[in-house]
């Protein structure tokens, strides 16, 4: 009976009510409101929630502190689920995973066409003819401007 009376002292009542709220939050799987979830699902929001939980852990009963840390973790997780960032982190692959997949899918055997082309004789390239007696001829340009046209008359 002394333990029960000790728990119901005036300075402990707020901790009991906070513990009850924490237990209800844990058990009832309450969703975070979208506006609050957007604030919490940032780096600064996560740091603030963790700091508040650590402050609660250091300033109150250890049981309430542990419940506060658990509630902080669940609040951050439920907020990321509410905003959709949890699904992005869980289901979208990283760039390294994409590169691994692409290299895995691009490993296929050498085809017959590639073998034939590899076995072909190389193309022979001759230098210019020594006694060539031809010159390029410019055809009708249909009133087009010359290449060095500047537009100034």
pLDDT confidence band for 121 (50 / 70 / 90): confident
- pTM value is 0.57
Q: How crowded is residue 23: how many other Cβ atoms within 10 Å of its Cβ? A: 13
pLDDT of 123 higher than 80: no
Res 49: pLDDT? 94
Per-residue pLDDT for 93 more than 90?
A: no
pLDDT of residue 17: 87
- Over the chain, what is the mean pLDDT? 83
Query: Do the domain assignments include residue 80?
Result: yes
- pLDDT tens digits, 68-89: 999 999 999 999 988 888 877 8
Q: Token digits for 100?
A: 């691994």
pLDDT at 46: 93
**Is residue 113 a part of any domain in this protein?**
no
Give the pLDDT of residue 2: 65
Higher-pLDDT residue of 93, 40: 40
Whether residue 133 is contained in a domain is answered as: no
Place of tokens 């780096």: 43
Count the domains in the chain: 1
| Alpha-carbon dihedral 66, 70, 72, 75, rounded to 10 degrees | -160
- Is 65 part of a structural domain of the chain? yes
Q: Residue 54: which domain range? A: 2-91
Q: SS3 sequence, 53-112?
A: HHHHHHHCCHHHHHHHHHHHHHHHHHHHHHHCHHHHHHHCCCHHHHHHHHHHHCCCCCCH
């Amino acid at each position: 009976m002394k333990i029960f009376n000790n728990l119901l002292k005036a300075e402990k009542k707020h901790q009991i009510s906070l513990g009850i709220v924490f237990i209800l939050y844990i058990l009832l799987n309450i969703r975070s409101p979208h506006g609050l979830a957007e604030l919490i699902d940032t780096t600064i929001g996560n740091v603030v929630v963790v700091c508040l939980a650590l402050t609660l852990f250091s300033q109150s009963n250890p049981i309430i502190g542990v419940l506060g840390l658990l509630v902080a973790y669940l609040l951050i997780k439920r907020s990321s689920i509410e905003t959709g960032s949890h699904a992005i982190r869980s289901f979208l692959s990283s760039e390294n995973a994409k590169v691994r997949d692409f290299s895995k899918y691009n490993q296929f055997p050498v085809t017959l066409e590639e073998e034939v082309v590899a076995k072909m004789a190389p193309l022979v390239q001759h230098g210019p003819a020594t006694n060539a007696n031809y010159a390029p001829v410019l055809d009708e340009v249909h009133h087009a401007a010359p290449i060095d046209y500047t537009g100034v008359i």
